[in-house]
Chain A
């Protein structure tokens, strides 16, 4: 199931053209906003995918890195009056540090243990941040109420965000693609197949898991910073809650974990669904959204563990009549 099969690229190119043209095609702000949110979700899910998909280490605690990014942006603004985006590199550095400190010991854990440890670490972070005055405790932090300069990246229209997010996503996908073609991609595939087998083949398992985590944590943090820049607000639940982590997993898994375009495909399906339910049901919509999300991942796990990418793979191989069914 290598990304970038012959049939995939033309479709991907088409999708990207459509995404790039989206804010010009629709004039409605609600729809434009959905476009930006799809891209943001695609960034975080693609970032998760580096570790959870390609390396097969299912983290359910990536909200830590998302929160680190979001909070770094808002802390530099609230403490020193910097534009929030200036916090993004700090968030990336903090995330990588957290990843190195928490990840290194956790990587010795296999399978479920790893997932549970990531949940516990994320909950720990959420409780600590919710009681720390620097991060605004339970109330959270606000961004600049009115833009002071263009560097605050505070726009009323979602369109500038759309193109900002799109460029970050393109960079992330390029990095991911480059990684899959490099030695690291093959090492991670071996690790995903099983720690012991990979080690017996001479793969430096712990080191490459750590590389995948650092890359993944850095980009997730970037997504968090972008979120904070756009929304101008973060509190423990909206930036560090377990649902933030779960959303990344669901989006990536629905599209196809461990594939290049899977997370984007997942975001294109789920985010409009989420936004329209939220709009239709108001505050109560969040609950319904997560019932639907839960049901979707149960169904994916039960009937199509490879996500839509596996489905796509099946369809395209049938079309070309290719006899080479390499799993």
Chain B
């Protein structure tokens, strides 16, 4: 029974992983650029939720969309100001650009918010459900389910709407898309906005039940890389499956081996998969 409980809480965490990893995979698939600051975007969203609550007395109904909007803006600004210029440069410049951004965001957060851990009050989304012996905190259930719904929604928007088709057209062939009257720059800016907004929602949701600190983005970024590599880059369904899988693996290894080693298991798995299938577990090409 306790094992089932561990799996369920892993799935709920995993669906949040899936949400922010979808943002990373979208950006990566669109322009073959990795956002090394992705985890720090999540961190900023967590602080946005925290300050939205403590300073402005927003409830989750307000601070989740607010964080999404803030991060959307940040994503677009980062694309226009930085990524657009380095994307066609040498590999080193691409990596340094977003890596530098990650450092700036992380240490600016240290400076502005101090290294102390903070968290939202437990009572914000209080209560615990008892589903046939499996106890789930309401905050985790809300976060997990909402993240799952939004990830699926993102997939539907990408595959079923005109806008999604335009985005995918640019991802597939920038020049051909241009000939069809699509402006690649706008689409890529939009992809960065949406990708960052996904970290905004995910971060605000994790903040409901997770501690917040300036360095929290470091391990979240690695998780997003793992999820994207396993799921195949550019694939939202892949990220969803991989995200849920990583959530469960992490929860199980924390339970069976010890909390310290959960990252060891995840990173080892990541390296093994990269060695066996450099294109990702579910990826083609």
Contact = CB atoms under 8 A, between A and B. Distances in A.
- Category for how many chain A residues contact B: 35 or more
Nearest to B115: A287
A116 B86 CA distance: 18
- Category for how many chain B residues contact A: 35 or more
Contacts of B267: 120-121, 123-124, 127
Interface stretch (A89-97, A103-111, A205-213, A224-232): A103-111
Contacts of A123: 222, 263, 267
Interface in B66-123: 82, 85-86, 89-97, 99-108, 110-111
Interface stretch (B7-15, B56-64, B196-204, B271-279): B271-279
A113 B99 contact: no
A301 B106 contact: no
A320 to B, nearest CB: 26
A79 B85 CA distance: 52
A87 B89 CA distance: 41
A86 interface: no
B192 interface: no
**Residue of B104, B260, B268 with most partner-chain A CB within 10 A:** B104
A120 B222 contact: yes
Interface stretch (A180-188, A214-222, A288-296): A288-296
A298 interface: yes
A96 to B, nearest CB: 19
B91 A302 contact: no
B31 to A, nearest CB: 12
Interface string A274-302: 00000000001001101101111111111
Nearest to A112: B34
Sorted nearest first, the 6 A-B pairs with minimum C-beta distance are A294-B103, A297-B100, A294-B104, A298-B100, A305-B93, A301-B97
Interface of B: 28, 32-34, 82, 85-86, 89-97, 99-108, 110-111, 218, 222, 225-226, 229, 260-261, 263-264, 267-268, 270-271, 274-275, 278
Given A112-B95, A120-B226, A300-B100, 14 more contacts: A58-B95, A60-B95, A109-B278, A112-B28, A115-B34, A116-B229, A124-B271, A249-B99, A253-B96, A291-B104, A298-B82, A299-B100, A302-B82, A302-B97
